[in-house]
Structure 1
């Protein structure tokens, strides 16, 4: 296993306290040369891909972890870390036997001398304190893997002692449980790992160190197991659908208005074809002001005052997170068509659905294009100082690090830039000092237009790669000639031949005398998905939710919508380049899109 490795806590990617293990570190060399595993065990580890083990136990309430069966320059070793001031390592001196039968693995061997680290100083001696079972250095031991109803577990057991034991005591809790991440060749195969969010193997968190994770999240179907499906359908004069969008008083009104235009077009077409069993659909529109918590009040009003059957919206990530938590309580289906926050569907709320690719997929596509296809090394980040900017570039930042090219700088700009910083002088000066190979821009259309114009006006010529929000007409209008050559990631390709998209584009042009935007098209599709669910389920929110959850693929004006296990669209994204005042799609052609 290559590269340094840091401890991983049980609750996520946050490293535990402790010194970083470096391949050139003296302790690592001693670990490799002083106590070795037999070649037969090393071969067995390679064959079974048995590369990582974890140990969970408690000593005075502290979390312990058994970290690694190393396959480095020397022989593998076992490292036992305890969160706190002390760290202990146990090393396997020899192994007498290894047996494997199906998914059961049993090891017999001898423990090497424990090494104690305290306060950064290496010490040898008897560990202070002591509770639980004691395994002497040099004692024989057995690890037998068991498969039980509560999961797959492995337990250590002392079975004897050498005639001349060496070293000192290693204190191991009685409750210690070793959970092996990979058990058999089939279970350990990377091919068996479920893929979430189109994450490539190169960007999988801890992919360089873990053959397989201890647990995978967001890869199992998200279900609602509560009651309500038995409720009878009421008699109504109209079938109400809610729309929650920033229509005024927000920097995202340009998105909200396009959303509403797409929803209205879908409702009009369905009413012309007979509505729901002869009953017309009716829109109930509410404004998302962007104020903290305001969206919660709107969802309550939709649920009880307006009696809508589903909601289309909204845009702002923070407000959407609040809205879906209220929807969970009021049990109201929500179809999101514009919020690309990667964490939106990671709330495990079974009432939220999203039919647009998220920032994770777009960030991965940009990262691979910049580093793998264009061979850039120093890519700066310029983003909005809000949730959209922070979470939008989060996956790009992490992906850049995993690909070996951490961004040299991440620059923020104020959302209220008109009043606070209309010239973007500080941002431009920082870019000039860093002089990156390229810039990744995550901003709203208007701000992106001003930023690109200022960047080119300052004589900076590095390529600019932007998020999907720059595809709005206001970006080109503000940036002018400076927009030439800007590359944007696109959730779908509107230039692909599609009879559905051509009909939608013609209808939209007649109504608005303009080309439909990305958000108008996804709003149209999202509304059609909700209406199709109502046709199938009838007027019952619980059955409507179930019908939406059953959609694996949906053919819409944005192409084939492919929903994953947490009900988010994972259709492949593409790129577009500004040429002569218009966007040219599929340019550049990306070799890997996510």
Structure 2
């Protein structure tokens, strides 16, 4: 799906529209629910910027490309968008896709603000062209590992699919748990049915199962099988990547989907600005906005400020990130260089560990907040 928020050749008071290339997963095998929320946030912020006069009198527009979780498709789209003359790139949810976009953006000298992907190594080398709003995986997943330890889990199994992202997550959990006597057993879901996963959990005497797998499948089938196995009635299920955040999880799993803890990048209380944005996003989505929608909204606010301050010419925007300081929907956003992170990083967005309340699965409970 290729779309634009402005018709080709649209003009503002002071010249043609300023275009931002937006990468969003809007079709399978991409996580479509996440893409829908991300796009809603991006589009809402564009409308707000334009209602306030645009950027230097020119309207802001999105040129949207559906990545479908395909890195090669996304990399080709970067070349296409650069040829169309976009001033910056934004978005993406899937880490492997964002990594492909970041590499191309670095090579072309095109500013890219990554909204939601968390993989630490977005680029192979340090770059001035790429910044990120979402917390790095090593930061968020260390917090999740600490939570597992605090609630008494040291014998943990992970249901895992092959992926750089999932492998990185498993490694972070293992490295954090091992010094405290914790163990990780990997269950490769390519060779195990959901019922076989249950048998492995019983054999391993695991007290927690962490889902490092795609949504809806095989995550939904695994959860259903575990919930129906009386031998595993006491086991905790976790999904740090955030599968339970979206309404589709509750629709597919109902009560079975409650009590599955995950990482969520929201503060305990939104600022007045965040509350106004939440209301507007809820109207657009016809459901409660996820943290991904807020990430999309903040992305456009930042890029609009960068374009105002440094101009729409790429060369003028080469090193803008260190001077960003804006109030986003979830706190004050500034970027810095963090050890082991090759891109400019907001350090750090608020992080919660939440689950869906077993007593009311459409409501979230905050289990931990940092």
Q: 1:451 aligns with which of 217, 222, 226?
A: 222
Partners of 1:376 and 1:250 in 2: CA distance: 32
Contact residue 288 and residue 295 of structure 1 kept, 8 A: yes
Structure 1 532/317 Cα, relative in aligned 2: closer, same or farther at 3 Å? same
What CA distance in whole angstroms lies between the structure 2 residues aligned with 1:510 and 1:406?
Answer: 45
The answer for unaligned runs of 5 or more in structure 2 is 1-13, 338-342
8 Å CA contact 1:529–1:548 kept in 2: the answer is: no
User: Which structure exhibits the higher relative contact order, with contacts defined as CA atoms closer than 8 Å and separated by 6 or more residues?
Assistant: 2
Q: So what's the TM-score if we normalise by structure 2?
A: 0.86
Match of 2:63 in 1: 284
* Alpha-carbon offset, residue 562 of structure 1: 4.7
Q: Does the C-alpha gap of structure 1 residues 318 and 511 become closer, same or farther in structure 2, counting only changes over 3 Å?
A: closer
Partner-residue secondary structure (3-state), 1:578: strand
2:181 counterpart of 1:401: no
* Counterpart Cα distance in 1 of 2:356 and 2:94: 26
Match of 2:186 among 407, 410, 423: 410
The count of corresponding residues between Structure 1 and Structure 2 is 345
Q: Secondary structure at the match of 2:220?
A: helix
Q: Which residue of 2 aligns with 1:439?
A: 209
**Counterparts of 1:424 and 1:518, CA distance in 2:** 29
5 Å matches for 1:155-554?
Answer: 236-304=15-83, 306-344=84-122, 347-371=125-149, 373-407=150-184, 409-414=185-190, 424-447=194-217, 448-459=219-230, 460-461=232-233, 462-467=235-240, 468-493=242-267, 495-551=268-324, 553-554=325-326
Shift of 1:378: 0.8
Q: 1:562 to 1:242 in 2, by over 3 A?
A: same
Distance apart, 1:334 and its partner CA: 0.7
What is the deviation of 1:346?
6.1
Per-residue CA deviations over 1:9-64 (Å, capped at 9, x if unaligned) read xxxxxxxxxxxxxxxxxxxxxxxxxxxxxxxxxxxxxxxxxxxxxxxxxxxxxxxx
* Higher share of residues assigned helix: 2
Question: 1:241 touches 1:281 (CA, 8 Å); kept in 2?
Answer: yes
Structure 1 SS opposite 2:238:
strand
- Structure of greater Rg: 1
- Counterparts of 1:336 and 1:295 in 2: how far apart (Å)? 13
1:292 to 1:524, Cα distance in 2 relative to 1, 3 A: closer
1:575 aligns with 2:348: no
In the TM superposition, what is the alpha-carbon distance from 1:241 to its structure 2 partner?
0.7
- In the TM superposition, what is the alpha-carbon distance from 1:382 to its structure 2 partner? 2.0
- Deviation for aligned residue 1:247: 1.5
* Structure 1 residue ranges without an equivalent (≥5): 1-234, 415-419
Ranges of 4+ aligned residues in structure 1 off by more than 4 Å: none
